[in-house]
Structure 1
């Protein structure tokens, strides 16, 4: 795919910039790719395995243009434009203090600016910044990105990631993992005693398990260091928000689903994560305080394992299951309250650190929509949300966010009920509406995300949510990479953005996935730029 940027040098007319695209194979996300073009105003990339014309190229050159007619605003356009649109940068955009694929990132930023996006989201990893030892921070690569974003005229939304990533592989700080080698109970454990090394157990939040400091103290030091290092950007480039990592994948949840279900397979119920010694200690204390000491010996014995169906045992049985029993209510209330208290601690910390920074604080809540069509909602229960057909569990979550004056990020806004496996009784749309109702009730702003690039009718579903009460703040499209810039997706994304910005001017056709359309079109964007799209 080729992206050409043509900026007008006409002094008598409005500036005009065209963004042209031609189909070819493109690979972006693998950071072992090499530059093959280094012209002054041209950037191209190709995989070492593919030579030739594959790649992304941004070329700047002068062009004369006539004045384009000003567009008339429309009610629909105003309704859609209240939602600020961002795109997430690659997860491994920085490693070892340096920016990976500097030229590709620069090219991508230019393209996003021309499309009229508000800005980009930057994931900042604990394991990258504080990699070697506690209190030793290396912000250099991320500061370089911030400067690139500022020069591109975009805004920056930052995510502070206190978790690990499996793909691409970004572990927790080396010194934390070293501690975990001898003190495995700093991590969550499942019923088999297997630790989850993707984040720390919430049960150690206030225990001095990190070389004499508590995780909360370490998180606060990290946030304070970030605030100091990025002081030149906060309030100018970083104006929208800072997202506080809250757990696995940055989400407020337990790691109840380890790994990913294979495509086309029915997901399991998940597994409760309460078996590290610190979680068991808290459970034991709670059971004794309730006068039920035998209930504090462990999690439900009749709950299924990760990949097992809810019907594999009796805990999640729709009628007469243990989840509806006094014991079930005892355990699920405690389990969810621990998660909410953890989120409360972290959001309170972030709100305090950035109280004078004039930026919003966000936290991410997962969309555990598998089995939402059952009465027990097992995927939600194992993840820590006591939400069933008879209990509105997200009320407590929304109230906690409201108490800290924070906003919620909801993923899965590209997911439609009709594309879910019927056997999973999944309903992302109804769960999204349910969480949205709780947020609206408590006055909590909602920012949206997609779960995958290229979900069936995903962009259509995102637009639908933009026009609903499920989304009222911003949308972060995840994530720039090979799939994002692929010829079967990127032209559709451009069409999506153009329809949001200027629906009344949109009259042309963009390339379809089948590549059958061969028309061109130009329209104004919000930044007085003209986007020219052409399929080869």
Structure 2
């Protein structure tokens, strides 16, 4: 591995890299001893072992002086960025399937780099299928504890995401014992109209049914959370400051209405309703009979399009004359969305009661389903469980539920802008984001944010900053996610500039001691201080 230093003071660069665990400037080259080489392994998240990434090296960044006392960068932010805490997501596969810390040296170096930049903390996905893999009630926390200690030693905070779903893309599964139960009881999974099952999370219809060896999923989730709280008690409230409760696919409160991956050159379709597993149909049948319309309880809308189709490919979602405005549709869509909100209530109530005395904040993630938002029926939101149309606000009940449970709401997609959406998709992430934030303000729910993807959206950093200013009060922003692309020369300099723009807004140099002013100036490093690091 070789690091080429381009410009800047070699002495200052050497000091910074000693902070990162590297050393020995020789003739304009920094030599990394083999034992300190940073290798990102062969996992899908880090892309490949032979990688090239960029770190901004600035020697005079003394992270503690800059972050302490009344003259810290954070206390000197402009009013527009007050109280925004910036975190970075750790790799989805930070912990291996055999319960070990993946790419530990790379993560350690990355943590130090983030600390030097002034990032407050990192987000860690904790997977149900990894911790409780072999048998119900048999938890293995050792690797996650080791990683939490690494974060603590780096002087960073930790936001934990409890993931009760799987991730096929990164080969992260549900617990083996749950999958075995699913083989004999397939009705524990969501099912679409064609009978296709979604096996990356459990159907919300079984929340309170004893389908897991005599226990309900809610009971199993509660015991998992209790075990986590006990095992990480020494970190709670100090290092661990926030916990996101997994609520469904990808951790979000929604139905898996888009089970199929959309090809990059194809417009996202409307999705499909997920109400065809045995237990969902049973609940629907009972609800229809109780309302005096038993024929309405036989299934979802028969005239709705399939996953990849547009709203006008069938009758249900059409803007003009579509049956989405009929009495039957109102009955079904109200029931469908209420089932989702009740599921969110059960899980957020569970999390709030479990962690109420730990000095941590509980969050839940709501998706930003912006495709077809400019149509009257908002079909993609409807299939995902949000009864939101041009004539009905579907987020009022959701944010009210968050308020009842004293939880903060996490919104992804804060890097998305309308101008970069395909015209044919009639999409508007900006209008949808504004609508959800209005509902949050009405019910007193604090908003936190994330970006949409690890590879970034066009002009994403500009859009994120736009969403952090003015009346758009954001408690926490989690940038997703650390990996090979994150540290690449194409990305990391832009991220560094973004962090500095948040941390350095309107510094009052006359209030800074001389040495802290010098340290602040060093944060404004230009491109000549970029250090390119690559394996030979």
TM-score range, shorter chain: 0.7 to 0.9
State the SS of the aligned residue for 1:447: strand
> In the aligned structure 1, how far is the partner of 2:444 from the partner of 2:87?
23
Q: Determine if contact 1:253/1:384 at 8 Å carries over to the other structure.
A: yes
**CA spacing shift, 1:222–1:52, aligned 2, 3 Å:** closer
**CA spacing shift, 1:71–1:57, aligned 2, 3 Å:** closer
1:298 corresponds to:
299
Q: Determine if contact 2:371/2:426 at 8 Å carries over to the other structure.
A: yes
Q: Determine if contact 1:18/1:529 at 8 Å carries over to the other structure.
A: no
Q: 1:59 Cα shift?
A: 9.4
1:204 corresponds to:
206
**CA spacing shift, 1:208–1:74, aligned 2, 3 Å:** closer
**CA spacing shift, 1:500–1:524, aligned 2, 3 Å:** farther
Q: 1:263 Cα shift?
A: 1.8
2:493 to 472, 491, 494: 491
1:44 to 38, 43, 46: 38
State the SS of the aligned residue for 1:94: coil
| TM-score, scaled relative to structure 1 | 0.86
1:423 corresponds to:
424
Q: 1:167 Cα shift?
A: 1.7
> In the aligned structure 1, how far is the partner of 2:243 from the partner of 2:72?
34
> In the aligned structure 2, how far is the partner of 1:389 from the partner of 1:501?
39
> In the aligned structure 2, how far is the partner of 1:87 from the partner of 1:137?
26
Q: 1:45 Cα shift?
A: 2.4
**CA spacing shift, 1:46–1:228, aligned 2, 3 Å:** closer
> In the aligned structure 2, how far is the partner of 1:210 from the partner of 1:86?
35
1:372 corresponds to:
373
**CA spacing shift, 1:60–1:493, aligned 2, 3 Å:** closer
2:27 corresponds to:
none
1:118 corresponds to:
120
Residue ranges of structure 1 left out of the alignment (5+ in a row): 11-15, 21-35, 507-521
Higher helix share: 2
> In the aligned structure 2, how far is the partner of 1:343 from the partner of 1:480?
29
> In the aligned structure 1, how far is the partner of 2:61 from the partner of 2:451?
37
Q: 1:264 Cα shift?
A: 3.2
Q: Determine if contact 1:58/1:107 at 8 Å carries over to the other structure.
A: no
> In the aligned structure 1, how far is the partner of 2:141 from the partner of 2:446?
30
State the SS of the aligned residue for 1:291: coil
Q: Determine if contact 1:448/1:471 at 8 Å carries over to the other structure.
A: no
Give the alignment of 1:200-349 within 5 angstroms.
200-239=202-241, 241-349=242-350
State the SS of the aligned residue for 1:45: coil
State the SS of the aligned residue for 2:474: coil
Give the alignment of 1:350-365 within 5 angstroms.
350-365=351-366
- The C-alpha deviation readout for 1:442-469, integer Å capped at 9, x for no partner, is 0001000001232100000000001143
> In the aligned structure 2, how far is the partner of 1:407 from the partner of 1:388?
24
- The C-alpha deviation readout for 1:164-192, integer Å capped at 9, x for no partner, is 01221101000000000011000000001
Give the alignment of 1:376-415 within 5 angstroms.
376-415=377-416
Larger mean Cα displacement after TM superposition, 448-457 or 129-138:
448-457
1:28 corresponds to:
none
2:468 corresponds to:
466
Q: 1:63 Cα shift?
A: 11
Q: 1:235 Cα shift?
A: 1.3
> In the aligned structure 2, how far is the partner of 1:157 from the partner of 1:100?
19
> In the aligned structure 2, how far is the partner of 1:416 from the partner of 1:535?
29
> In the aligned structure 1, how far is the partner of 2:467 from the partner of 2:360?
24
Equivalences, count: 492
**CA spacing shift, 1:148–1:270, aligned 2, 3 Å:** same
> In the aligned structure 1, how far is the partner of 2:49 from the partner of 2:179?
40
**CA spacing shift, 1:445–1:524, aligned 2, 3 Å:** farther
> In the aligned structure 2, how far is the partner of 1:532 from the partner of 1:53?
24
2:154 corresponds to:
152
> In the aligned structure 1, how far is the partner of 2:327 from the partner of 2:144?
50
> In the aligned structure 2, how far is the partner of 1:98 from the partner of 1:235?
25
1:180 to 171, 182, 191: 182
Q: 1:54 Cα shift?
A: 3.9
1:439 corresponds to:
440
> In the aligned structure 1, how far is the partner of 2:344 from the partner of 2:518?
44
**CA spacing shift, 1:50–1:311, aligned 2, 3 Å:** closer
- The C-alpha deviation readout for 1:112-134, integer Å capped at 9, x for no partner, is 00110110000000000000110
> In the aligned structure 2, how far is the partner of 1:198 from the partner of 1:479?
21
State the SS of the aligned residue for 2:215: coil
Q: 1:75 Cα shift?
A: 7.9
- The C-alpha deviation readout for 1:314-362, integer Å capped at 9, x for no partner, is 0001122111000000000000000000000000000111111111110
| TM-score, scaled relative to structure 2 | 0.86
**CA spacing shift, 1:401–1:61, aligned 2, 3 Å:** closer
Q: Determine if contact 1:44/1:55 at 8 Å carries over to the other structure.
A: no
> In the aligned structure 1, how far is the partner of 2:143 from the partner of 2:57?
25
